[in-house]
Structure 1
């Protein structure tokens, strides 16, 4: 996913905060509202970090390891002339599993995942696949030798040739009518499978790295630590132990000064993905006129677009309401200060999930003509975004 920042909102929030600070400075009789807000938001941050974020990333990393192992099994079976379609289907299921956890994480692409962080999002989730570039790689004998010898380390740093979608293209294919997804043919070339194993390894490395960034490298399993060490991956300055930085604002380098700043980032992450799903992922194929717009189809080989979009909205729901029943959440705080807004947010999230669920696959063939797809652009990209912006404003106000 490519992240789009809404600077005007941050500016508006900054003005509101500045006004609030000035008001408090003019009136030394602090009514304690800041302390109440901090206490309410503090309760929400720990379950958000440990259950919603780290819980999701841990499952994604586990699934990516399983996916890599199944891709290795495909390559080995091919070399022994024992490859079956069932093995490819099985690897495809692991791809779907890892993919789901990634899409369920897209409301928290700030920090390590984002372009301004470690850039993991752009590394593993750029689309469409650059088919011409991939073909050139497969036909480059020197490059393929390096990939065969070094695995993921030997891969080129080209856009559109790595990550979920390059892996998807080697595990799934469309039938002749392009209306049904099928397992990839067993008729691979040797270079395709060398490449598949390398990009699956690279995907695994990045997924494990993302878990480590949030949980702390000492909190992941020994097996995962070994994966990172083998890949030679290190942490970008200021991002390690990111979960702890959110749970303990104002400590050490002060990534966050207070829980209000943490909550604002959480809601901004929700705004960003709602904006992207509505106006980019759905909006470009629906309303765009260029070939790039029409081809801006997420997960086209597995026909997983609608599931991807839905999971993105569920990531907003999990971030706002908590992933587990009973988790303290930002929703709890908003409900305590503005119950009408809290109900509106929950209704807006559900409306987005409902309208996306009405869009038929294949999205590529229905995007420009389906009425529900057109409606989804507004319900998600305008209505949900505006409602979440109200939450951001409420956090600064109350």
Structure 2
């Protein structure tokens, strides 16, 4: 028997491929200890206070969670200084993306995003029979906002624009002046009826002074939603907690399509506690800043080009720096017990994304990457750096600090 009654756009859908799990790598290559720098996770893990509360909350698993997420919304409203009715809670920000498209698009409509943007935008759109129009990147891999505005102007079926700032997987961003000019232009297109969605998943890691606060942008363009997450600096990726900030009218429509009980009780409680633990957030930021400094210094020393990043990851150019495709470098490093992230599915065959880890993880990973250098450069790097070459899959224990 064959099952062909699914719509064509579902049959043609390519599922999202996450970073390779540690356990799978251990089984495949028979490696005991693996370093994973593939999924932009917080290497320090969750707030210790959140973990302590989780241990208590598991005793209440026989009870349904608070479907309204009252306490989390209240905590976010106090932190962001926004009304509670301008916040929507999702099972990860992915669910908020899905809710937005289900609430505001119908089959045959379109969304606009840039090339090399987060794949969830396209996937959530295609599930609903909505087309994705990809616009150009600038030579330095930033979103070309002029091209994006033109794409919206040229197609009256466009209902929504997605912009990640900073962008994943490139780590690049658009400045405050660029975004304000873009929003000014968007107001002229169909009276500002096209929703602009800014994805600020990596906002807490930003150091650039000209990358705008999302609250400032919302004052520039009313028809806007800002996506945020607890998966990155809060270290709760395994619990799936995200949220959106939008005008009350948008949130009301999203609540209509939100699944009931979309977050479990432990996740809700951990998110509230994590939000309160500012010290853990600052420590996580400090570790990321130090790790980014380490990676850029070592990449410069090895002669591997990279794109300056405002996230907790860095994109490197394997083609220019190593004479290899990113996927080949990824496969070779797997055999050394280090997981990076190939980005060929973003159209970046030449590149590789590296998440920032702990000091111990970064040290192991840099040795795995350095083993990919041509022989003369490899020998020179290890000699000058004083690091030991990695000859085989010898990734040692590099746990949380």
TM bracket, shorter-chain basis:
under 0.3
**Given the two structures, how large is their TM-score scaled by the length of structure 1?**
0.27
Name the structure with the higher strand share: 2
Name the structure with the higher helix share: 1
**Given the two structures, how large is their TM-score scaled by the length of structure 2?**
0.27
